[in-house]
Amino acid sequence: MEKQILVLHGPNLNLLGSREPDTYGRMTLAEIDRGLEEQAAKGGFRIQTFQSNHEGELVDLIQQHGPSSAGVLINPAAYTHTSVALRDALLAVAVPVVEVHLSNIHTREPFRHHSYVAPVAVGQITGFGPDSYRLGLSALMEHIHHS
Ligand code: DQA
């Protein structure tokens, strides 16, 4: 059976395409997800994708779908910088996590430099626009293959 990867998008990412295009580009979330689906299929994985503007809902999704997944690709968006609950949920399901960001969080405002998720992730890809997702998925699939 194909292995599953859980893809999670945090708050405000439903607005991609029109949201601060100079920072986040013009690609919509649906377009990003379509690309990820094709890429995953080529790598022999299927993906389950969710976006939520609610911290608790993201925690619920990790609890529900994390244990049956081989890995989690997550853009926690603003919760990156605030959420101990998301970090704890990812730790609890104990599957490999790759964190991605469209913008480079380390060159932006100081409050974006810290990530609660990064220390519990295999790695973080930040600053490549929508390509961050592609690079992140590729890294996660390789990691799963080799572990
Ligand atoms: C983001 C960066 C976060 O700081 C911000 O709150 C977002 C998007 C990114 O993808 O660049 O909503 O995660």
Note down pLDDT in tens along the chain; length 147 residues.
689 999 999 999 999 999 999 999 999 999 999 999 999 999 999 999 999 999 999 999 999 999 999 999 999 999 999 999 999 999 999 999 999 999 999 999 999 999 999 999 999 999 999 999 999 999 999 999 998
Q: What is the CATH number of the domain that holds 42?
A: 3.40.50.9100
Q: Is 101 a catalytic residue?
A: yes
- Spatial contact of 65 and 47, defined as CB atoms under 8 Å apart: no
Tokens linked to 101: 């960001």
- Overall number of domains in the chain: 1
> Rounded to the nearest whole angstrom, what is the distance from the C-alpha of residue 131 to the centroid of ligand 1?
14
Regarding the beta carbon of 28 and ligand 1, being less than 6 Å apart is answered no
Task: List Cα–Cα distances, 118 to 31, 44, 83, 106, 122, in angstroms.
Answer: 26, 26, 12, 12, 8
- Spatial contact of 61 and 52, defined as CB atoms under 8 Å apart: yes
Closest C-alpha to ligand 1, atom 2: 77
Q: How many CB atoms lie within 10 A of CB 36?
A: 21
Which residue out of 79, 101, 116, 133 is catalytically annotated? 101
Q: Which domain holds residue 112?
A: 3-145
